[in-house]
């Protein structure tokens, strides 16, 4: 299909694009959710035989219910038993009328169904196939299965997260899945642009490991210069290569309340001293210069916290920001749910699920003036769109559907 030239008229940049979605867990569904938000018709292939975990496949599980509505909002759902010849045949027929096929299995799964890229391309020469895996489809680890926490450890993120005198902690959530999802959606959009010019599809081999490793910031530059001597130690809340002091998260009044403060220049230091009331400790010669403040950061942190702990995090942030100092509350989930900036921009939205119950989901983290896109409903009920997909889209007769049902194709 061609990209819709009138997309700006209806606010959906991907209107007319169909995605056959085999993805599950987090990374894959979040990638196709981005496409769905922009108007792509995403047909999610689900199965009760597969592991029912966060994001899919099944909808009625305690673990899958909440995030299923977030990562699969706006999609369609069909049930196929890919252990049957009839289920595989229906999947191939859907691939023939789709623009994108997306999957995030290990490298063995799609070929076992005859749905590897070469096989699908024989059915649909212009198809774009997104394959998302932990390590990519080549290399010695191509067949390994991975999850977020292990990928974060392997990429180096876990080693860098924590304090110097503590064990590595790593990000609290499956950060690598979110990063992989964004990389997968970006790859599909680039392939759609290429196909709009050339008419040719392609295979997209996305490695979550590489997606995460690309975010290691200055560590990569350090490695290119210093090789094995590159800094790869935990520095807590401080920048690993210097960058001013005080620089960290400081305890405030209340239970588990914190504020992050960053001071880079002498001018900012003087503004901080004024903001906290010109305490006597600020005249300590150890803190007279930026270098001195960094060398004595531990002592300085304790003194700064002796002031912040007397005030709420919001009070500290407001006073320091008014003085031109970078400061921000370390927000909790409760804070984010009532954050005025996110509320004004409509980042969290309440949409109805298939039973009409309101669910909170995330919106896209960007605003497009011509094609803003939107999501108006939560994830579909399991297999809710069988009639549309089988009868309207594929033109299957009652007898065809009945034969497939008898053969166990609809799980």
Q: What is the pLDDT of residues 149-159, one digit of tens each?
A: 889 999 888 88
- Band (pLDDT 50/70/90 cuts) for residue 8 is very low
Is 81 in contact with 410 (CB distance < 8 Å)? yes
- Band (pLDDT 50/70/90 cuts) for residue 230 is low
Q: Please state the separation of Cα 383 from the chain's center in Å.
A: 25
- Band (pLDDT 50/70/90 cuts) for residue 129 is very high
Residue pointed to by tokens 């007898």:
399
Question: 9: exposed, middle or buried (C-beta count within 10 Å: 0-12, 13-18, 19+)?
Answer: exposed
Alpha helices in 228-348 (DSSP H): 266-275, 290-295, 297-308, 313-322, 333-337, 340-345
pLDDT of 209 > 70? The answer is yes
pLDDT of 351 > 80? The answer is yes
- Measured distance CA(337)–CA(178) in Å, rounded: 20
Q: Residue 373's pLDDT is what?
A: 84
Question: 171: exposed, middle or buried (C-beta count within 10 Å: 0-12, 13-18, 19+)?
Answer: middle
Tens-place pLDDT, residues 371-406:
988 787 888 888 899 999 999 999 999 999 999 999
How many CA atoms, within 13 angstroms, populate the side-chain half-sphere of residue 337? 6
pLDDT of 321 > 70? The answer is yes
How does DSSP assign 85-112, residue by residue? Answer: HHHHHHHHHHHHT-SEEEE-S-TTHHHH
Secondary structure letter of residue 229 according to DSSP = G
- Measured distance CA(24)–CA(27) in Å, rounded: 7
How does DSSP assign 281-295, residue by residue? Answer: GGG-GGGSSHHHHHH
228 Cβ contact list (under 8 Å, min separation 6): none
- Residue 34 DSSP SS3: helix
Domains located in the chain, CATH noted: 7-214+346-406 (3.40.50.10540), 247-336 (3.30.1540.10)
- Band (pLDDT 50/70/90 cuts) for residue 179 is very high
Tell which residue, 102, 103, 105, has the closest CA to residue 144: 105
- Measured distance CA(301)–CA(279) in Å, rounded: 14
167 Cβ contact list (under 8 Å, min separation 6): none
Q: Please state the separation of Cα 201 from the chain's center in Å.
A: 25
Of the candidates 21, 99, 177, 353, the residue annotated as catalytic is 177
165 belongs to the catalytic site: no
Secondary structure letter of residue 53 according to DSSP = B
- Band (pLDDT 50/70/90 cuts) for residue 215 is confident
Q: Residue 227's pLDDT is what?
A: 75
């Amino acid at each position: 299909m061609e990209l819709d030239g009138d997309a700006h008229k209806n606010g959906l940049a991907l209107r007319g694009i169909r995605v056959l979605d085999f993805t599950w867990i987090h990374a894959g569904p979040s990638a196709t959710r981005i496409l769905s938000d922009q108007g792509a018709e995403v047909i999610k292939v689900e199965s009760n035989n597969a592991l029912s975990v966060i994001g899919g496949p099944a909808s009625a599980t305690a673990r899958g219910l909440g995030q299923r509505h977030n990562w699969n909002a706006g999609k369609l759902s069909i049930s196929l038993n890919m252990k049957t010849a009839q289920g595989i045949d229906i999947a191939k027929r859907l691939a023939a009328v789709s623009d994108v096929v997306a999957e995030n299995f290990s490298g063995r799964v799609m070929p076992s169904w005859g749905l590897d890229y070469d096989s699908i391309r024989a059915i649909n020469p212009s198809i774009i196939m997104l394959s998302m895996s932990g390590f990519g489809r080549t290399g010695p680890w191509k067949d390994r299965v991975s999850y977020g926490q292990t990928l974060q450890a392997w990429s180096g993120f876990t080693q860098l997260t924590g304090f110097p005198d503590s064990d590595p902690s790593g990000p609290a959530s499956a950060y690598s899945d979110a990063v992989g999802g964004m990389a997968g959606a970006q790859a599909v959009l680039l392939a759609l642009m290429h196909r709009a010019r050339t008419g040719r599809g392609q295979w997209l081999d996305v490695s979550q490991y590489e997606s995460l490793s690309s975010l290691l910031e200055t560590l990569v530059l350090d490695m290119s210069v210093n090789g094995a001597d590159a800094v790869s130690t935990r520095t807590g809340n401080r920048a690993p290569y210097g960058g001013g002091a005080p620089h960290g998260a400081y305890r405030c009044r209340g239970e588990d309340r914190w504020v992050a403060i960053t001071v880079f220049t002498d001018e900012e230091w003087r503004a901080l001293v004024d903001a906290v009331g010109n305490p006597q400790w600020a005249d300590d010669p150890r803190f007279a210069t930026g270098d001195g403040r960094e060398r004595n950061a531990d002592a300085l942190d304790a003194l700064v916290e002796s002031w912040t702990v007397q005030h709420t995090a919001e009070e500290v942030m407001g006073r320091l920001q008014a003085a031109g100092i970078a400061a921000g509350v370390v927000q909790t989930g409760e804070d984010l749910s009532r954050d005025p900036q996110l509320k004004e921009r409509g980042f969290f939205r309440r949409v109805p699920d298939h039973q009409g119950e309101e669910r909170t989901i995330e919106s896209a983290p960007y605003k497009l003036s011509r094609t803003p896109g939107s999501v108006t409903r939560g994830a579909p009920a399991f297999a809710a769109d069988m009639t549309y997909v089988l009868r309207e889209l594929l033109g299957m007769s009652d007898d065809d559907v009945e034969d497939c049902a008898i053969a166990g194709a609809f799980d």
